[in-house]
Structure 1
Amino acid sequence: MKKLHLYIIFIIALSGCDKFLDIKPKDKFIPITVTDFENMLNSGTMVNFGDQYWDLMSDDAFLPEGQPGNLYTKQQPYGRLIYTFNTSPYDQGGNDFLWSEGYKRIFYCNTIINNIMEATEGTDANRRSVRAEAYLGRAMEHLQLVNVYAHHYDEATAATAPGIPIALIADINAKFVRNSVKEVYEQILSDAHAAVADLPVKNKLTKFRASKAGGYALLARTYLFMGDYVNARKNADLALSLQGELKDMNTYNVIIPGPFPNIPGAPLGWTNIPDAQLNPETIVARHFLRPFGLGMDVCASPELTALFTNDDKRWTLYFADGWPPAPPFNYMSRYGVKIFLRGDYYSNYLNVPEMYLVRAECLAREGKAADALADINKLRLNRITPAAYKAFTLADFGNNNENVLRFVLEERRRELVFTGMRVIDLKRLNKEARFRKTIKHTAEGVDYELLPGSDKYLRQLWPNATVFNPDWPLNP
């Protein structure tokens, strides 16, 4: 029987991760020096993160049907299943990249964490710094995975709710159990705090390498997901104290004819917004596994469309009425929506705007609406055209704190659209009666519904992993 208990496509020779097997295979490189371990952090595997297809189940996504301009049948089969709230989009033998690539990166991190302090060359401080980056990476992956394959964190049930396997050793032959949601979050917090202690103040070489602000940003995100708004705000404060620069999006433009003018079907109207590693708002950079994310593959839903105005640069730079080949099909004319074109979206990992939004939400929940609006106004100053920009006051919301909180959440939705955050937000907000909502999608003449708190929010564990772990409890 195969012993790949997590069933990870983990090519040891790729980054030289055989040391944990206590075997030195012929012609395979084994990391020995600090530089060797740092090169693992610089590898192509480690610069990716997330699953762009997950967003297809959110209320932000709309897949038009009919020709021309069909985006539903354009999707891979698993994309169509996710859009229609099918909990098992990957059959036996199909690759669930979020699981396989996520655990692959965890095993890279484990190889570093388990071995770096014995590395030759370098200083002890350098070894600890590299280990801290691996702690951060491991925490981020576990946080993503537990939010896809398990119910959202709830203090009352987290200790008994099935989460995901926690992997802390670099041994693909080890036996793993499905830990509880509480255990997973405890491990995430432990890793994140360990990372903060030794992360450098500045990114090394590139923003694909982590900084101390990244450690605080991860803690802020984690505590927000847990509903611990005091600690979420505290860590957002710390992250912004180290990196709080926002970039005025009015300085960016649509590029015509786009970056690939000679490729049929290439997007028309891409922008000169810098990618992840070059964007000044990035704290720690990653790319989607597929370079363009959902660019050219999804439209904003009518509901999401209604949240934007043409004075919002996020709308005019990231979305377009139509899409080539010429003449472009006009989604706005037919459906009253725009197609998402922006690929390589910079904020699908850790970034400055998210920290302002985390802090603003926490402040609004604490009854400090004026302070929350100050953060939102600062963000919008860098997103809205100067002629249309307005600094909001409490009076604009009837001096009602609830109205301010709802506006903060709307701003979060606008800013983080198609970055993998919306489904998590739906899951956590469904814990509050005032924010519960039913998501509806239609495909091939059939209406599908995703109810608040539904088990349909949980992706089934990857069959390729569970077949070798029959003792793992499956999702409903």
Structure 2
Amino acid sequence: MKKNSILLIMILACISLGSCDDYLNIVPKGKKVPSTLADFEAFLRDEYTIGQTPIYNALYLLNDQYVWKSSLNNMTLTRANYLWDESADRITLNKADEGTYYLLYAAISSCNLILENVPTATEATDAQRREIMAYAKVIRSLCYFVLVNYYADTYEAATAATTPGVPLITSSIINAPSRQVTVQELYDFIIQNIKEAIEQGLPQQSMTVIHPNLGAGYALLARIYLQMANYPEALRYAGLALAQKDELYDWNDYYNRYSDIIEDPEKFDKLPTPTDYAYVENYYFRHGNGSPNYATAEITIPVERAERFEEGDARFLSRWKRRTVNQDTYYTGIGSGYFNWGGLTTCEMYLIKAECLARQAGNNDFSKAMDALNAVRRTRIRPDVYQPLQATTEAAAIELIRRTKDNELIFTIVPFADARRFNAEGTYARTMTKTVDGKTYTLTPDSHLWTMPFPAGATQNPGNGTITQNVPK
């Protein structure tokens, strides 16, 4: 968190508590206590504090991110997840992987600060205040969605009311009381907040792409209802999001533009990623594992993961190339820039729509579901390879949709959340297997590894509340 942000939060916390000594309320020279709407809106632009969504260990568990062989020699949290080691005590190992927890709760704290203080902010109309509060509610809801799908067992309607979730914090005051709510309580909270944001006037055109617009509100609700297996509502909100914005980026055009570099196996030039702030598919841009302070490179993926992309996928071909360095063979990223690995896009909505239509198809007519899927594929698959996909069963349709979705949304929380949802449902659960150096590894759908342990810093210093681990190890 940036020093200025920390200072402002501390000042506001003291003001809110009303118990700080007078000298603490004296504003340091060169600083200011935020009071205007513009002062509070600035918190939404501090992307280092409010805009990161690191989910490294979910990527390691899925084997979506390559881990160097030298990094697998010692027992670490990364190794335990990457090699699906159920005997590892991940609770003990989780003494350093705190980014997911603390960065997301830092963002939540900023949103809480905005929601507490914007109603009395100066130099603003009521409509302007409502808009800023709507942004904060959507961002806070997205952060909680990631947290509950990372540190708690996945949502199941029959057990969500008794399944332990994550701490719910609605105050920015230092040492404010918190409670580890159930998964159902958390989902109810985030759905209510998004709907309130929409009612408060979440704008069709937001201030910037890092301010979630109305389409983002609908898109987040579609994602949440899909995770709850409420397919009618997920379909409805995906449709509302696409009514706001439905553009898809033409990856074939991108491939043609940079084909001389892409097609040369010896060239590993860093190409400018189109998935940045200006990406036409964005509803809301949010950093994932990349830093907002400087451009980053595309994440490296394992050979086995690369093989799961569809033949002729221009998006894949434009992003990775096979490479061997010493003992490691992998697909290295050839893209560079800022990546929307934590936000919301039109592509996700097409694929949510496709799955929901497949699950609700009458008379085994999956044409509408395949139409939604093929709308995405037409902008991805090379013209000499592309053929529209068809399905005659729900299982076949789901398999095709899931393949595209896992590939399209790689490095986001979505493939991890989807895998947990499919595992809980049972019908389309998968057992994952791989062979490394002659040894076979397996990850079953009911493995405890699908829920990440809270970091030691959180459980040992829970503040004014308690945190109980949701996994045995």
TM-score surpassing 0.5?
A: yes
Residues in 2 aligned to 1:304 and 1:34: alpha-carbon distance in whole angstroms: 47
> Taking structure 2 as the reference length, what is the TM-score of the superposition?
0.84
Residue 42 of structure 1: aligned partner: 45
Residue 203 (str. 1) matches residue 206 (str. 2): yes
Residues in 2 aligned to 1:354 and 1:466: alpha-carbon distance in whole angstroms: 34
Residue 169 (str. 1) matches residue 171 (str. 2): yes
Residue 317 of structure 1: aligned partner: 318
1:55 alignment partner AA: L
Residues in 1 aligned to 2:46 and 2:7: alpha-carbon distance in whole angstroms: 8
Residue 405 of structure 1: aligned partner: 398
- Kept in 2: contact 1:364–1:404 (CA 8 A): yes
**CA distance 1:318–1:297, shift in 2 (3 Å):** closer
- Equivalent of residue 214 in structure 1, options 204, 213, 216: 216
Residue 429 of structure 1: aligned partner: 422
Residue 16 (str. 1) matches residue 18 (str. 2): no
Mapping 1:319-338, distance limit 5 Å: 319-322=320-323, 329=325, 338=331
- Per-residue deviation, residues 410-464 of structure 1 (Å, max 9, x unmatched): 1111211222322211111002333222234566876543321222211111211
- Kept in 1: contact 2:169–2:179 (CA 8 A): no
Residue 417 (str. 1) matches residue 388 (str. 2): no
**CA distance 1:418–1:76, shift in 2 (3 Å):** farther
Residue 55 of structure 2: aligned partner: 51
- Partner SS state of residue 200, structure 1: coil
Mapping 1:120-269, distance limit 5 Å: 120-197=122-199, 198-204=201-207, 206-253=208-255, 268-269=268-269
- Equivalent of residue 462 in structure 1, options 447, 450, 455: 455
Residues in 2 aligned to 1:417 and 1:387: alpha-carbon distance in whole angstroms: 25
- Equivalent of residue 350 in structure 2, options 351, 356, 367: 356
Residue 36 of structure 2: aligned partner: 33
Residue 264 of structure 2: aligned partner: none
- Kept in 1: contact 2:458–2:467 (CA 8 A): no
Residues in 2 aligned to 1:257 and 1:251: alpha-carbon distance in whole angstroms: 13
- Kept in 2: contact 1:151–1:161 (CA 8 A): yes
1:16 alignment partner AA: L
- Partner SS state of residue 182, structure 1: helix
Bigger Cα displacement from structure 2, 173-182 vs 288-297: 288-297
- Kept in 2: contact 1:201–1:212 (CA 8 A): yes
**CA distance 1:149–1:211, shift in 2 (3 Å):** same
**CA distance 1:255–1:87, shift in 2 (3 Å):** farther
**CA distance 1:377–1:13, shift in 2 (3 Å):** closer
Residue 374 of structure 1: aligned partner: 371
Aligned-pair distance for 1:59? Answer: 4.6
**CA distance 1:92–1:359, shift in 2 (3 Å):** closer
- Per-residue deviation, residues 41-94 of structure 1 (Å, max 9, x unmatched): 0113223223244211105445463xxxx6757x99543343234563775763
Residue 286 of structure 2: aligned partner: 286
- Partner SS state of residue 116, structure 1: helix
- Kept in 2: contact 1:50–1:144 (CA 8 A): no
**CA distance 1:300–1:226, shift in 2 (3 Å):** same
Residue 389 of structure 1: aligned partner: 386
- Kept in 2: contact 1:252–1:271 (CA 8 A): no
Residues in 1 aligned to 2:75 and 2:248: alpha-carbon distance in whole angstroms: 36
| C-alpha RMSD of the superposition | 3.0
**CA distance 1:252–1:464, shift in 2 (3 Å):** same
- Partner SS state of residue 387, structure 1: coil
Aligned-pair distance for 1:98? Answer: 0.4
- Kept in 1: contact 2:8–2:33 (CA 8 A): yes
Aligned-pair distance for 1:251? Answer: 1.7
Residues in 2 aligned to 1:25 and 1:57: alpha-carbon distance in whole angstroms: 49
- Partner SS state of residue 427, structure 2: helix
- Per-residue deviation, residues 128-187 of structure 1 (Å, max 9, x unmatched): 000000000100000000001010000111011110001111123122221111111111
Residues in 2 aligned to 1:21 and 1:355: alpha-carbon distance in whole angstroms: 43
- Kept in 1: contact 2:52–2:104 (CA 8 A): no
Aligned length: 441
Residues in 2 aligned to 1:95 and 1:434: alpha-carbon distance in whole angstroms: 33
Bigger Cα displacement from structure 2, 232-241 vs 404-413: 404-413
Residue 3 of structure 1: aligned partner: none
2:407 alignment partner AA: R
Bigger Cα displacement from structure 2, 9-18 vs 429-438: 9-18
- Kept in 2: contact 1:60–1:301 (CA 8 A): no
Aligned-pair distance for 1:341? Answer: 4.4
1:315 alignment partner AA: F
2:414 alignment partner AA: M
- Per-residue deviation, residues 185-232 of structure 1 (Å, max 9, x unmatched): 11110111112222111121x211111001001000000111001110
Residues in 1 aligned to 2:76 and 2:260: alpha-carbon distance in whole angstroms: 31
- Equivalent of residue 474 in structure 1, options 447, 469, 473: 469
Residue 4 of structure 1: aligned partner: none
Aligned-pair distance for 1:315? Answer: 1.5
User: Which blocks of at least 5 consecutive residues in structure 2 are unaligned?
Assistant: 262-266
- Partner SS state of residue 99, structure 1: helix
Aligned-pair distance for 1:31? Answer: 1.8
Q: Please identify which structure carries the higher helix content.
A: 2
Residues in 1 aligned to 2:459 and 2:26: alpha-carbon distance in whole angstroms: 29
Bigger Cα displacement from structure 2, 368-377 vs 117-126: 368-377
- Partner SS state of residue 372, structure 2: helix
- Kept in 1: contact 2:41–2:132 (CA 8 A): yes
- Partner SS state of residue 435, structure 1: coil
2:468 alignment partner AA: P
2:43 alignment partner AA: M
1:280 alignment partner AA: V
**CA distance 1:365–1:304, shift in 2 (3 Å):** farther
Bigger Cα displacement from structure 2, 293-302 vs 156-165: 293-302
- Kept in 1: contact 2:63–2:82 (CA 8 A): no
